Structure 1
Amino acid sequence: MRRLGTGIGWRPEIADAVERMPGIEWVEVVAENVCPGHLPESLGRLRERGVTVVPHGVSLGLGGAERPDAGRLAALAERVEALGSPLVTEHIAFVRAGGALTASPRLEAGHLLPVPRTRDALDVLCENVRIAQDALPVPLAVENIAALFSWPGEELTEGQFLYELAERTGVRLLVDVANLHTNHVNRGEDPARALGELPLEAIAYVHVAGGVERDGVWHDSHAHPVPDAVLGILADLVARVAPPGVLLERDENFPEPRELERELARIRKVVEGGGRVDSAARPGPSAHAGDADAGEARQRLGVAQAAVLSSLVAGTPLPEGFDRARMGVQARALASKRADVVAKVAPELPVMLGASYREAFAEYARERPMRGGYRWDALDFAGFLMEGERAGVPRRELREWWLDRSGPAPRGRMARAAHRALSRRTRTTTPPHPATDPNRRQPRQW
């Protein structure tokens, strides 16, 4: 595997700081956040200096019951080519459920959710990974995710699940030691056991990140300093194998550049202080269905995932065997994540609503599951506010904002001025919800 060295997650908020950081050998960028034809200038400068850029996908849903979407795979491949990347990474997770496979409404999670460690899920995941490998121009590596809840009736440990996945598909592994810590706190899983069961020779690189504990639940926030416990798991890993690359992730609450550099220095110290030793004996692949048709497994997995996701985002009854309190934490976390991202893609909404934004979005999220991307979510949220009776909602401004954002192109200043004048004259009542508006247009990209 190609050596990457020490890197950091590239984010627009810290782009300048990353360019100035000493010792940065590579960066990772969220694939869905870059446009192949309009790459950020900062990434271009890093590439000119010989810094490797690796795209990290978040929306394929390789652990979902359906086969990977061809359009998403093509888009990911396009980003690989544009960035000249030696590999591409994604997650072992499901992000949507329902639809034709289960004859139920299609639901979007808006975040990464854990797959059950069962034979059905493994068979489906293996087939999905092979489909992705065939469609991508460079090797694929997949990441173990952090989880707030466990599935009842699991048949494999984390390490066994990943071992068989790599054995059956040849896929590389992106090992997130922060996620191993998260699963230790939230699910009582032993990180040392997981590392002992992994096919260490399959590791492409390692993620290190911070989080926070609230009410006994560890949240993989990527917004806090890396704790000693995570560095301890990293030390355990590098005592077993020399990873080709190690990367620091930070997505929110960015500290001063010097603080990020100090975190990177701590990570380097752990990596450089580890000596490669023989790893513990690992289990070989156990008997499985191999490459048999996964159709029935997809059906069973699809029904299970749709039921779980519906309980989290649509308020339907929780399937049997799940921890009710922990699933409540997950549901609130998904709604909070939606609010955070909508505030980023549509910053005018929290400005218009002020302090009531969070409360209003929580009310909306309880009633309206996510039906598409976050831009659709922002439009639907505005429509929800316009049709309701909530006091203090600036309906006229919201209506103008919605008309501007839902069209194929921004309306001009003259059109906006004419609309304001017309609104003052007619004093229209509550406008229709975007979903039922006869003048509705497809949203443009904004």
Structure 2
Amino acid sequence: MERLGTGIGWRPEIAAEIAELPGIDWVEVVAENICADHLPPALEELRARGTTVVPHGVSLGLGGADRPDPDRLAALAERARTLGAPLVTEHLAFVRAGGSLTASPRMEAGHLLPVPRTRDALDVLCENVRIAQAALPVPLALENIAALVNWPGEEMSEGRFLSELVERTGVRLLIDVANLHTNHVNRGEDPATALDELPLDALAYVHVAGGVERDGVWHDSHAHPVTRPVLDVLAELCARTVPPGVLLERDEDFPEGGELAGELDAIRVVVKEARAAAQEARAAERAGPVVERAEGAPESRGGPDSGGGPTDAARQRLALAQTALLSSLVAGTPVPEGFDPVRLGVQSRALTAKRSSVVAKVAPELPEILGDGYHSAFLGYARRRPMSGGYRQDALAFAAHLLDRDLPEVPAARRQLEQWWRDRSGPRPPSAGAAARLVRAVRLALRRR
């Protein structure tokens, strides 16, 4: 595996700071946030300086019941070629549900949701990974995600699940130590045990990120400084293997460049000290009696799976389970049997809050028009209206929902909102009466999706 070194997640908001940071060997960019034919100039400048750029996908949903979308795969492949990337990465997660497998409307989560660690899910995931590998021009690595909820009836630990995935597909791993800490707090999973079970010889690189604990729940916010417990998990990993690369992630509430540099230095210190301690331990072990290696993850892996692919029945069972969970989270349907209703409530509110935040970013005029009432208005809209077509369409549907109810109550704000909606929903502004009819038509169309 190519040695990457120390890196940082590239975001437009901190592009200038990243350009000035010392010792940055590589950056990771969210694949869906760039266009292959028009890269941001600041990113081009980094590439011209010889900085490696790795595209990091968030929308494939390889852990979902459906086979990967060919268009999404083609777009990710194009970005990898444009960037000259040594690999591409994605998440072990599902991000949408419903559709033809369940004869129900398609729903988007707007976030990464955990895959049940079952044989059905593993069979489906392995086939999806092989499809993705065949479509991508460079190796693929998958990231473990943070989760708030446990699936009932799971058959494997995360370490065992990932180990068998690697053995059957040869996929590489992107291990997020902040996510291991999150799952320790939220799901009682010991990071050291997970690391012992993981096939770390398949490690592509490591993520480190900050978060915050509220009411006994750890929120993987990427908006807070990296905490000592996360650095301790990083040290545990580095005591077991030398990671090819370590990357700092930050997505919100960006600090000054000096604070970012300090976090990167703290990461470098942990890696250096852990490596030194591991070398001493190995030297002492060689000097002492031979200890048999405990059973754990397989020593070697094959390439493509030698067994048969998953059955259609496995995909359908997974589709039904994931649709029931996502519908409960985003559409207010009953909590599926075996899930913790309290935790699902926390997850549901987190999904809605993120959806509101992203819509405000892609359509910043909406919070400007609605003022302090934006958030509560969006919560009222989203409570039983799942996202089905991405955030930009969600913003239009939200505006149509308000206008259909003669909101906002202030006439001037309502006129602004109608003008905003009209400017973005058609090639030319219709008359006022036609606008009202068009709002209702769009709203009905969105419901039928």
Tell me the TM-score normalized by structure 2. 0.91
1:264 — aligned with what?
264
- Following the alignment from structure 2 to structure 1, what is the Cα–Cα distance between the partners of residues 440 and 310? 39
C-alpha contact 1:196 1:281 (8 A) present in aligned 2: no
Shift in alpha-carbon separation, 1:83–1:173, aligned structure 2, 3 A = same
Is it true that 1:405 corresponds to 2:430 in the alignment? no
Shift in alpha-carbon separation, 1:321–1:181, aligned structure 2, 3 A = same
Residue type at the aligned position of 1:356: G
Structure 2 SS opposite 1:6: strand
C-alpha contact 1:98 1:104 (8 A) present in aligned 2: yes
- Following the alignment from structure 1 to structure 2, what is the Cα–Cα distance between the partners of residues 123 and 27? 33
1:146-203, CA deviations, whole angstroms, 9 ceiling, x for partnerless residues?
0010000000001001100101000000000000000000000000000000001000
C-alpha contact 2:403 2:439 (8 A) present in aligned 1: no
- Following the alignment from structure 1 to structure 2, what is the Cα–Cα distance between the partners of residues 171 and 265? 30
1:295 — aligned with what?
312
C-alpha contact 1:110 1:338 (8 A) present in aligned 2: yes
1:400-439 equivalences in 2 (<5 Å): 400-407=419-426, 431-432=436-437, 434=439, 436=441
Aligned residues: 425
Residue type at the aligned position of 1:399: E
User: Structure 1 residue 390: deviation in Å?
Assistant: 4.3
* 1:357 pairs with one of 371, 374, 379: 374
C-alpha contact 2:422 2:435 (8 A) present in aligned 1: no
1:396 — aligned with what?
415
1:35-434 equivalences in 2 (<5 Å): 35-275=35-275, 276=278, 281-284=295-298, 290-392=307-409, 394-407=413-426, 431-432=436-437, 434=439
User: Structure 1 residue 283: deviation in Å?
Assistant: 3.8
Please, which runs of 5 or more residues in structure 2 have no aligned partner? 283-292
RMSD: 2.1
User: Structure 1 residue 284: deviation in Å?
Assistant: 3.7
1:245-274, CA deviations, whole angstroms, 9 ceiling, x for partnerless residues?
000000000011100000000000011112
Residue type at the aligned position of 1:397: Q
Residue type at the aligned position of 1:138: V
Tell me the TM-score normalized by structure 1. 0.91
C-alpha contact 2:402 2:408 (8 A) present in aligned 1: no
Identity, % of aligned positions: 68
Structure 2 SS opposite 1:22: coil
- Following the alignment from structure 1 to structure 2, what is the Cα–Cα distance between the partners of residues 435 and 72? 31
User: Structure 1 residue 282: deviation in Å?
Assistant: 1.5
1:444 — aligned with what?
none
C-alpha contact 1:98 1:105 (8 A) present in aligned 2: yes
Shift in alpha-carbon separation, 1:272–1:368, aligned structure 2, 3 A = same
Structure 2 SS opposite 1:344: helix
Comparing 290-299 with 72-81, greater Cα deviation is found at 290-299
2:287 — aligned with what?
none
Residue type at the aligned position of 1:282: G
Shift in alpha-carbon separation, 1:289–1:332, aligned structure 2, 3 A = farther
Shift in alpha-carbon separation, 1:132–1:292, aligned structure 2, 3 A = closer
C-alpha contact 1:60 1:73 (8 A) present in aligned 2: yes
User: Structure 1 residue 389: deviation in Å?
Assistant: 4.4
User: Structure 1 residue 289: deviation in Å?
Assistant: 9.8
User: Structure 1 residue 62: deviation in Å?
Assistant: 0.2
User: Structure 1 residue 392: deviation in Å?
Assistant: 3.0
- Following the alignment from structure 2 to structure 1, what is the Cα–Cα distance between the partners of residues 28 and 188? 30
- Following the alignment from structure 2 to structure 1, what is the Cα–Cα distance between the partners of residues 440 and 81? 37
Shift in alpha-carbon separation, 1:433–1:367, aligned structure 2, 3 A = farther
Structure 1 SS opposite 2:168: helix
User: Structure 1 residue 429: deviation in Å?
Assistant: 10
- Following the alignment from structure 1 to structure 2, what is the Cα–Cα distance between the partners of residues 355 and 432? 28
- Following the alignment from structure 2 to structure 1, what is the Cα–Cα distance between the partners of residues 339 and 296? 30
C-alpha contact 1:7 1:28 (8 A) present in aligned 2: yes
